Each structure stands twice: as structure tokens, then as C-alpha cells.
Chains A and B, each alone.
Chain A
Amino acid sequence: MSTSGREPIDDERTPEGRGSQQPHASPLIGFGDAWGDARGDARGGSEIPCGDCVLSSRIRLARNLVGFSFVNRATQSQLSDVVHRVQATRLGGPFESGVRWVNVQATAPVDRLLLFERNLISRPFVEATHPRCVAISTDETASVMVNEEDHLRLQMLAPGLQLRPLAERMFALDSALDRGLEFAFHPRFGYLTACPTNVGTGIRVSAMLHLPALHMLEELEKVQRAAKDLHLAVRGFHGEGTDALGDFFQVSNQTTLGRSEQDLVDEFTDSIVPRFVEYERAARRALCERDLASLDDRVFRALGILRACRLLALDEAIKFLSRVRLGVALGRISDIPLGLVNRLLLEVQPAHLARARGGELGNGRDDRAARADLIRAALR
């Protein structure tokens, strides 16, 4: 594995057995259009299931290899061995049409952060120092982190509420990997994981909810309570260990033992997520009926700021984009597609701004100016 500086970011080797999975030829993460098209949200939100209230769906599976200590206990050479074994395995599923391996250990901080902002790797994976890599599918909807907390963390993303199709693709990937790798399993505890609270299915099913109306009506505490009653974890914009940014909340399962993957996916799809969506839609109706002028004022004031400002901090950007998103979803704003707002929510983040500049991470003031310029240009 290359240990040189930042170029190239990806591991271009094509080990035996990877077959037709050619390395992706385009520049690193052609962000923006590729992301929007592949994840289906560039055209607007109307055709995306629950796209008005659900930003994205995500499923991840934790897997570990037989014969190796877990990552927290393994030696550097064992971790390298795990990387090589996974890289020599045919990934299948969403990786059939192309895979890009990124050697995270040898990648510049700005690029690691970019992958994190795009939800392709986790925060601890950005900051770790041991041998690790990530496989990213050409359409950026799937990734396999090697040597995160577990040897493998398989993850898939889709816009809106699309957990069933995601699960189907995830199971295909799991089965493909199972043909090439021996996963640690115990008949009682199921798939074995480094953290004993993840054993069993090793699955984490989550939905990123957009709940601005509930926030305006000061009913988010009720949401938190409902989530707790349903044994769900509530997290922020970037999952575990992050705070909620603006009106975005990620809900995910905490129980991984005693229920099948399909059972859990069905419950999220048919009952849990629709319940939060229904709360939010009821709050939006209440806001419209109670005082439409006041709602419009909040929405268009936010849009006015975004179209006029010259310096914009990240939390402000997320807050105002959230209000504009609400206006678009309710049809109050008709000249901005929902997909554009979703894309801006990604592109206003620091590593995205840095990549757009073609440089390193900026200081706060540079970022604020660049962020304001980006949004003004996009919403003109």
C-alpha cells in the first residue's frame, strides 16, 4: 500500500479476483452532479419517497474476519493483512459497475474530511492513524470501510425513505463478500463485533429527518421522547457523536440482537419513519393554517439572506438552507428545486469548499466568504 503524500488519493492496484471492477477513471469524487444524479435528488424531491421530510436513508452492516483480533487489539501488520484480504475479494452488488479504493492512511486531511462530509466514512475513520482503506462505488451510494471499529463496515445511502431497496442491495453485497471472506459468527450472538452492543445482525438502519416545522412549534422534545420510547438513537447531522445541526435529526435502531434485518427495515419503513414524517407534516399544516404570513416571512427572509449575504458561517448556512428547504417542500418557493438545496447542504461544508477552491482547508473567515459566494451563485 502506498504511504506517499496526497497524490494519488486512491489505490490504483487491481488485485487478482477483482474482475471487472475497474478503478473509477474520473477525478476524485466528482462532487455535485454525480452525487445528485446517482442519489436521485438532483431533479427535485417530488418523486423521492418522503423527500419532503426525509433527507436520506442509510443502512450499515458490521462484519469481522475469523482468525484476526478486532481492530482495537490487532497489530499493524494484521490490520494491513485485513486490508489486503478485503481488497482481493470481489465486492459485487453496487460495486459491480466500478469501485474506487481510497487508502485513507495515505490521504490528505482535506480529502478524508471530504469523504466524511459525504457520509462515505465516519469521523473516527478520518482521525485514526492505523492502516485502513475504503471502497467507494462509482455512484457514491455504497462504501466499505476496512478497519473502522470492525474489520468491515458496509454502508449504503439513498435519498428520501428508500430503506427496502437499500436493504436488498445490501444483502446482495453481504452475500458476495461472504463468498470470499469468512465472517466471525456465533450461533447465539450472531455476527461478532468489536463492541458487544452491535452483535447479532450488526445492522444500523437510519433515516436523516428534516423537521423544521416541529422545531418552530417547539415540539422537538416530543420527538426525542417518542424516539426514546421506540428504543431509537437520535443523533446529529453526521451520525454518532455529532450534534444536531439546524433541523436535521438522524434516528437509528439501537437493538441489533433478536430481530431479523428485514423485520427492522420493515418496521422503519412502515411504522417508525412514517410516524415522524406524519408529525412533521401535521406541524407544517398547522403552521400554514395558523399564520401563513409569518411562515412565509421566515422562509423568504432566509432566502433573502442567502441571496444577499457576503459572509456566512456553517451553522447559519444550515439554518437558512433548512428554512428554504421547508419553503420548497411546501411549494411556497417554486423556482428552486429541492435537489439543489440538498446539494448545497453538502457543498457548504469546509472540505467541499476547500476542494472547490482546489486547495487545502481554509480558515474560518475564508470559508465564510467562499460559502456565501457559493450560495449566492447557486440561488441567483
Chain B
Amino acid sequence: MERTCDCCPNPAVVHETVVHSGIQTEVHLCAEHAEQRGYILPSATGPALIVGKLLQQVQSAAARPANACASCGTTMATVRETGLVGCPLCYRHFEDALGAVISRAQAGASVHVGRHPAHAADLVDRAAMRNRLARELREAVSREEYERAAKLRDRLHAIGGSPSDAFASADADDATRVEGGSAE
């Protein structure tokens, strides 16, 4: 019986056995899903198309500088030249460089305080929790309460924070203020 694609009911044209961490799995994909995952398929129009696509990929990679934002292609050099960022994802891609620029422009402030969109409520809550734990950890260490500090460190790890945050950030106290405000 003809195998269907793992992602849709179409007939699979790619069949592969993948071994990952000692576990063997079979992959069956239709033409569309195979292409999406980067498989190069034999084509009715012959090898020229494949070469064309490869060239296209090479060219677009060449057109995009190595350290450009993956979403919009902006580089930090462009940001410096124009004073403008390309897209919201640039702020993640260039977080450190932009963080330094922003802190200089904002009289040393580095963490947002105030309103937030409803969709970011969880993000803001997590950031507030991280900041609170980091502050408590700092206090526990300064009072030499190491048992309590260890527990705080574990809780900080559990929500994606790092104990170094508690000591690296001069703005930790300000950061706790991210709790305030809401879009509602």
C-alpha cells in the first residue's frame, strides 16, 4: 500500500529512516512538505530547476549579511546609520547592542515600567517573578542564608532565570517595578 505523508493525506514521495539518540524513526513526506523541510526533489522540469533553486538560495544568503535580523534583514550598521530599527524581531536579534544604545538614550534606564498589552501579561508576570526572586536571592546571599539562597536559585532556574542576573544587573531594583500597570 502506498504510504501517505506524515503531515497530510497526500502520497509520500520522500521516505527516510532517521536515527536520533539511538531511536530509529521513519519519515514519509509529500512533495510540498518535503520541500518545506529542505529536501531537494527530482523534478519533471529536470535538474535545471534544482540548480536554479540552489543558486537562488545561495544568492539570497549572499544578499543578506551574516549578522542581519533573520526576519527583516536589517543590520546594526543600518540601525546606526538611520537611527531606526527594521522590525519588532530586531529587538531580539540585537538585544545586547540595542540594550546598550537604549540605556544611553534613556538616562541609564534599561527595563520597562508601565502598561503592557493584554497578550503580554504572562511575559510581564514571569519577568516580575524573575526579578523578585533575583532580589530575594541577592538579599539571602548578603545575609549568608545559604540554604534559603539555594532554594531561591532552584526556583529561579525553574522559571528560566539565571542566578547571575541577581548580581549582574544594577537595575534589578528598578526591574521589579515591571509588575505595575496593565493595558486594562
Interface residues, chain A, CB within 8 Å of chain B?
64, 66, 68-70, 72-73, 149, 171, 174-175, 178-179, 182-197, 199-201, 231, 255-263
- CB of A257 within 8 A of CB of B111, answer yes
- CB of B110 within 8 A of CB of A258, answer yes
Can you list 12 A-B pairs with a CB-CB distance of less than 8 A? A149-B84, A178-B183, A182-B117, A185-B119, A188-B99, A188-B112, A197-B105, A199-B102, A200-B113, A257-B113, A260-B181, A261-B181
In the bound complex, CA of A354 to CA of B91 (Å): 45
Given known A-B contacts A70-B84, A70-B87, A190 and B107 have beta carbons under 8 A apart: no
Give which listed residue, A64, A185, A259, A261, contacts B120 with CB less than 8 A: A185
Give which listed residue, A69, A171, A201, A262, contacts B72 with CB less than 8 A: A69
- CB of A256 within 8 A of CB of B106, answer yes
- CB of B120 within 8 A of CB of A192, answer no
How far does the Cβ of B56 sit from chain A's closest Cβ, in whole Å?
19
A73-B87, A182-B119, A184-B88 given; name 11 further pairs at CB < 8 Å.
A175-B183, A183-B117, A189-B98, A189-B99, A196-B83, A196-B85, A257-B102, A257-B111, A258-B111, A259-B109, A261-B181
Residues of A within 8 A of B105 (CB): 196-197
Kindly supply a per-residue 1/0 record for chain B positions 102-133, scoring 1 wherever the CB is within 8 Å of any chain A CB and 0 otherwise: 10011101111111111110011011000000
Interface residues, chain B, CB within 8 Å of chain A?
71-72, 74, 79, 82-88, 91-92, 95, 98-99, 101-102, 105-107, 109-120, 123-124, 126-127, 171, 174, 177-178, 180-181, 183-184
How far does the Cβ of B131 sit from chain A's closest Cβ, in whole Å?
10
Closest chain B residue to A183, Cβ basis: B117
- CB of B88 within 8 A of CB of A64, answer yes
Residues of A within 8 A of B83 (CB): 195-197
Of the candidates A66, A200, A261, the one having the most CB atoms from chain B within 10 angstroms of its own CB is: A200
Give which listed residue, B86, B127, B184, contacts A70 with CB less than 8 A: B86
Given known A-B contacts A200-B112, A255-B109, A260-B114, A188 and B127 have beta carbons under 8 A apart: yes
Closest chain A residue to B106, Cβ basis: A257
How far does the Cβ of A157 sit from chain B's closest Cβ, in whole Å?
20
How far does the Cβ of B74 sit from chain A's closest Cβ, in whole Å?
6
How far does the Cβ of A219 sit from chain B's closest Cβ, in whole Å?
26
In the bound complex, CA of A72 to CA of B84 (Å): 8
Given known A-B contacts A255-B109, A259-B109, A260-B181, A200 and B86 have beta carbons under 8 A apart: no
Closest chain B residue to A198, Cβ basis: B105
- CB of A68 within 8 A of CB of B87, answer yes
Residues of A within 8 A of B124 (CB): 187
In the bound complex, CA of A261 to CA of B178 (Å): 12
Of the candidates B92, B95, B114, the one having the most CB atoms from chain A within 10 angstroms of its own CB is: B114
Of the candidates B87, B110, B111, the one having the most CB atoms from chain A within 10 angstroms of its own CB is: B87
In the bound complex, CA of A73 to CA of B83 (Å): 12
How far does the Cβ of A63 sit from chain B's closest Cβ, in whole Å?
9
- CB of A188 within 8 A of CB of B106, answer no
Closest chain B residue to A63, Cβ basis: B117
Residues of B within 8 A of A255 (CB): 106-107, 109
Given known A-B contacts A70-B85, A195-B85, A260-B180, A190 and B119 have beta carbons under 8 A apart: no
- CB of A190 within 8 A of CB of B88, answer no
How far does the Cβ of B166 sit from chain A's closest Cβ, in whole Å?
16
Closest chain B residue to A64, Cβ basis: B88
- CB of B109 within 8 A of CB of A171, answer no
In the bound complex, CA of A197 to CA of B117 (Å): 20
Of the candidates B102, B123, B127, B178, the one having the most CB atoms from chain A within 10 angstroms of its own CB is: B102
Closest chain A residue to B74, Cβ basis: A73
In the bound complex, CA of A187 to CA of B95 (Å): 12
- CB of A261 within 8 A of CB of B174, answer no
In the bound complex, CA of A187 to CA of B131 (Å): 12
- CB of B106 within 8 A of CB of A197, answer yes
Give which listed residue, A149, A187, A193, A200, contacts B114 with CB less than 8 A: A200
How far does the Cβ of B94 sit from chain A's closest Cβ, in whole Å?
9
Given known A-B contacts A185-B120, A186-B92, A187-B124, A194 and B112 have beta carbons under 8 A apart: no
How far does the Cβ of B89 sit from chain A's closest Cβ, in whole Å?
9
In the bound complex, CA of A73 to CA of B85 (Å): 8
Residues of A within 8 A of B183 (CB): 174-175, 178
How far does the Cβ of B44 sit from chain A's closest Cβ, in whole Å?
32
- CB of B114 within 8 A of CB of A259, answer yes
In the bound complex, CA of A256 to CA of B111 (Å): 10
- CB of B107 within 8 A of CB of A185, answer no
Closest chain B residue to A197, Cβ basis: B105
Closest chain A residue to B184, Cβ basis: A175
Residues of B within 8 A of A193 (CB): 85
Given known A-B contacts A69-B86, A260-B181, A261-B181, A188 and B110 have beta carbons under 8 A apart: yes
